[in-house]
Amino acid sequence: MAKIDRKLLQELREQTGLGLMDCRRALEETDGNIEKAIELLRKKGAAVAVKRSGRTTGEGIVHAYIHPGNRLGVMVEVNCETDFVAHTTDLKNFVRDLCMHIAALKPLYLVPEDVDPKFIEHEKDILRAQLVDSGKPDKIINQIVDGKINKLYSEICLLKQRFVKNDQLTVKGMLEELIAKTGENIKIKRFCRFEIGS
């Protein structure tokens, strides 16, 4: 019988709301894999909620900006380490500026990693097609294409955009200044931007 870590057992109990013995047995049968244990419990008919983990972890702030006329709205979630920092003026000002920035600069993604790779491949094909008759060697063409893709990222990814209130900094740079000022790790977790007709 495998020895089951108490912390793991506690977590499974919290996530499923099930009894100690059921959870222990499920973890034993799945070698301590919590995802598989949940699946096993569900297959056995245990009433485990599908929407698991309503648990709240981390601190932060959710802020929204609705542009006058109600045709454009932005909402952001910014995470930090303590509730104290979440309610400082520094953080409040940052999320307010961030919403304004997103309203104005219309980012589509948070970071380049979020961009659909198929979209990037398609863009690269088009850029290469534009350069194919230039007579430039392949290596140079690839460099130009990579440069243009980087420029594209800095147009559509929030963290790479120049900050609307201070174009000496990117949004990532602004965030780093805030981290230095507050002494806490701060992350822009997500954002959304709704505009009528877009």
Contact residues toward a second copy (CB under 8 A) are 39, 42-45, 50-51, 53-66, 70-73, 75-77, 79, 86-87, 106, 108, 123, 126, 129-130, 152, 155-156, 189-190, 192, 194-198
Do residues 35 and 53 make contact, with C-beta atoms less than 8 angstroms apart?
no
- Which residue number, 99 or 174, has a Cβ lying nearer to a second copy? 99
Report in angstroms how near the CB of residue 179 gets to a second copy at its nearest.
18
Report in angstroms how near the CB of residue 151 gets to a second copy at its nearest.
10
- Which residue number, 9 or 188, has a Cβ lying nearer to a second copy? 188
Do residues 146 and 41 make contact, with C-beta atoms less than 8 angstroms apart?
no
Q: Position 117: which residue type?
A: P
Report in angstroms how near the CB of residue 3 gets to a second copy at its nearest.
28
- Which residue number, 143 or 166, has a Cβ lying nearer to a second copy? 143
Which contiguous run of DSSP H or E holds residue 9? helix 6-16
Q: Is the dihedral of CA 160, 165, 167, 173 positive or negative?
A: negative
Report in angstroms how near the CB of residue 176 gets to a second copy at its nearest.
22
Number of residues that this document lists for the chain: 198
- Which residue number, 13 or 128, has a Cβ lying nearer to a second copy? 128
Residue 192, helix vs strand vs coil: strand
Per-residue CA distances from 116 to 2, 22, 152, 168 (Å): 42, 41, 13, 28
